[in-house]
Chain A
Amino acid sequence: MSEFEKKMEIKNLSMFYGDFKAIEDISLDILARRITALIGPSGCGKSTLVRCLNRMNDLINGIRVEGEVILDDEDMYAPGYDTIALRRRVGMVFQRPNPFPKSIYENVAYGPKLGGIKKKDELDSIVEDSLKKAALWQEVKQNLQESGQRLSGGQQQRLCIARVIAVQPEVILFDEPCSAVDPVATQLIEDLMADLKQNYTMVIVTHNMQQAARVSDFTAFLLVQEQGEPGRLIEYGDTNTIFTNPEDERTERYITGRFG
């Protein structure tokens, strides 16, 4: 693993919703231009953890974070850290595709426009490039003015990926990106992620273990041991090892379906 450089370092991270500790003392490296999967049973804290990686949890009242999340040598939880800039650098694709109620073009151009890009030919170029990178261009190039919400579920999700790509992120977080789309669209998105690895670091939360096995380079297994306890990191390793010979018995029991 040490041959890959670290893009993010999660150090002793705990997160609280009020008094309730959701995740505890998680330390884990996110390696550059690799896909890291977070797996574990429902309620183990994997979505909570991934939302810590671009401070999306800040939008919830009463949350508190202990520990650090280092992005390129800077702790994103340090006082005064620019969270707006953070969410451009670390983009997110959600479980339910959520294109804006705007045209396909405007969905993708929205972020760059907010960032100050005004020239039409520059925006056109960004839109085309982003839609190509999201493997959607061929399907929509004739209909860029149509509403993004009229696309199929799988296409909407790829539009959301294009929207993230348009603002030139460094990291893309995926929170169960395929649970609301059909199997063929799922496979297209997984193939797309393999291509995106060349340029972007990715973290994917998935309850689908086979997806984690297919698509990721590294896998982290989280678990809530007893009801009421926080989610903890049980094991982290390269995906091949996790799925052929995990070190921890709890990991093995989960991935072999003995509990879930």
Chain B
Amino acid sequence: MEIRKTFHEQLDELYRDLLKMANTTVETIEQTRAAFASLDTAKAKGVMDDDDVLDHFVKKIEETGIELLARQAPVAIDLRTIIVIMRVAQHLERVGDLCVNISKAIVNLEGYTMSPWIQENMDEMFQRSIKMTLRAMEAFKERDLAKAKDLSKMDDTVDRINRTFLTSYNKESEEELELVIRVVMIARFIERIADHAVDVGENVSYMMTGEFVEFS
């Protein structure tokens, strides 16, 4: 007879819920990217409307995690896994909120024309933040410390692109300045999405090693 079947089944379900939440989060970032690419207000509003889904996920994961901690007295890897699942769910929920903030900013950009160089750099930031979120979740699923640590370098690239907006715009154009100021705010939100992916990687590292280390 398998021992502690009920506990292990509940833990498996918690794990699967997190993976579903992560998939939804990645889709949300992609929808936000697409909304920005064509300054599509309707798409942006769609992202805002769907934020409830991630809120619902994090609530369920929190409640289940707390119940498991209270009732099953998990130890060692089980304890660290439950704690990490709860923390990662919080990070994913914040990523969802950041996509809502970006979407609100996209709505405010209605009527503007995006310079191609800005569009390309922003798209690259979006794509990289999606890759980082996927890489963080791969690290979690595969218990891969190397993949978790990769995230720090990937984040450096996102930070570098973020810094180019204020150095690369056409200083002769007041129009471009105004656009860049608005875009920089959105870029900051994407940079925060990337930071959350790094945080997920740090949590994966804690889950595997039991030590909390900040990836610089």
Q: Which residues of A contact B (CB under 8 A)?
A: 135, 184, 187-188, 191-192, 194, 210, 213-214, 239-240, 243-244
B6 within 8 A of A: yes
CA distance A240 to B66 in the complex (A): 9
Asked if B67 and A191 make an inter-chain contact with CB atoms under 8 angstroms apart, the answer reads no
* Chain B 73-103 interface residues, beta-carbon cutoff 8 Å to A: 73
Asked if B71 and A191 make an inter-chain contact with CB atoms under 8 angstroms apart, the answer reads no
Q: Kindly identify which residue among B1, B7, B66 contacts A214, using a CB–CB cutoff of 8 Å.
A: B7
B3 within 8 A of A: yes
Asked if A244 and B67 make an inter-chain contact with CB atoms under 8 angstroms apart, the answer reads yes
Asked if B3 and A188 make an inter-chain contact with CB atoms under 8 angstroms apart, the answer reads yes
24 contacts between A and B (CB under 8 A): A187-B3, A187-B4, A188-B1, A191-B2, A191-B3, A191-B4, A191-B5, A191-B6, A192-B1, A194-B5, A194-B6, A210-B73, A213-B70, A213-B71, A213-B72, A214-B6, A214-B7, A214-B71, A214-B73, A239-B71, A240-B70, A243-B70, A243-B71, A244-B70
CA distance A210 to B74 in the complex (A): 11
Report A-chain residues with C-beta under 8 Å of the C-beta of B71: 213-214, 239-240, 243
- Across the two chains, which residue of chain A brings its CB closest to B6? A194
Q: In the assembled complex, how far is the CB of residue B43 from the closest CB belonging to chain A, in whole angstroms?
A: 40
Q: Which residues of B contact A (CB under 8 A)?
A: 1-7, 66-67, 70-73
Q: Kindly identify which residue among A135, A210, A243, A244 contacts B1, using a CB–CB cutoff of 8 Å.
A: A135
CA distance A229 to B67 in the complex (A): 34
CA distance A243 to B70 in the complex (A): 6
Report B-chain residues with C-beta under 8 Å of the C-beta of A192: 1
Which 3 pairs of residues, A with B, have the shortest CB-CB distance? Answer: A213-B71, A243-B70, A244-B70
Q: In the assembled complex, how far is the CB of residue B131 from the closest CB belonging to chain A, in whole angstroms?
A: 38
Asked if B6 and A244 make an inter-chain contact with CB atoms under 8 angstroms apart, the answer reads no
- Across the two chains, which residue of chain A brings its CB closest to B71? A213
Report B-chain residues with C-beta under 8 Å of the C-beta of A244: 66-67, 70
- Across the two chains, which residue of chain A brings its CB closest to B69? A244
Seed contacts A191-B6, A213-B70, A213-B72; 10 additional CB < 8 Å A-B pairs: A184-B3, A188-B1, A191-B1, A191-B5, A194-B5, A214-B6, A214-B7, A214-B71, A240-B70, A240-B71
Report A-chain residues with C-beta under 8 Å of the C-beta of B66: 244
CA distance A135 to B3 in the complex (A): 12
Report B-chain residues with C-beta under 8 Å of the C-beta of A213: 70-73
- Across the two chains, which residue of chain B brings its CB closest to A139? B1
CA distance A135 to B66 in the complex (A): 31
- Across the two chains, which residue of chain B brings its CB closest to A244? B70
Find the residue from B2, B3, B72 having the highest chain A CB count within 10 A. B3
Report A-chain residues with C-beta under 8 Å of the C-beta of B67: 240, 244
CA distance A191 to B67 in the complex (A): 18
Report A-chain residues with C-beta under 8 Å of the C-beta of B1: 135, 188, 191-192
CA distance A162 to B71 in the complex (A): 27
CA distance A38 to B72 in the complex (A): 18
CA distance A240 to B64 in the complex (A): 10
Q: In the assembled complex, how far is the CB of residue B75 from the closest CB belonging to chain A, in whole angstroms?
A: 11
Report B-chain residues with C-beta under 8 Å of the C-beta of A191: 1-6
CA distance A193 to B66 in the complex (A): 23
CA distance A210 to B4 in the complex (A): 13
- Across the two chains, which residue of chain A brings its CB closest to B2? A191
Report B-chain residues with C-beta under 8 Å of the C-beta of A187: 3-4
CA distance A213 to B2 in the complex (A): 19
Q: In the assembled complex, how far is the CB of residue A135 from the closest CB belonging to chain B, in whole angstroms?
A: 5
Q: In the assembled complex, how far is the CB of residue B85 from the closest CB belonging to chain A, in whole angstroms?
A: 17
CA distance A184 to B4 in the complex (A): 10
Report B-chain residues with C-beta under 8 Å of the C-beta of A194: 5-6
CA distance A185 to B71 in the complex (A): 19
Q: In the assembled complex, how far is the CB of residue B73 from the closest CB belonging to chain A, in whole angstroms?
A: 5
CA distance A194 to B66 in the complex (A): 21
Q: In the assembled complex, how far is the CB of residue A78 from the closest CB belonging to chain B, in whole angstroms?
A: 38
Q: In the assembled complex, how far is the CB of residue B58 from the closest CB belonging to chain A, in whole angstroms?
A: 17
Report A-chain residues with C-beta under 8 Å of the C-beta of B3: 184, 187-188, 191
Report B-chain residues with C-beta under 8 Å of the C-beta of A135: 1
Report B-chain residues with C-beta under 8 Å of the C-beta of A188: 1, 3
CA distance A240 to B67 in the complex (A): 6
- Across the two chains, which residue of chain A brings its CB closest to B3? A187
Asked if B5 and A214 make an inter-chain contact with CB atoms under 8 angstroms apart, the answer reads no
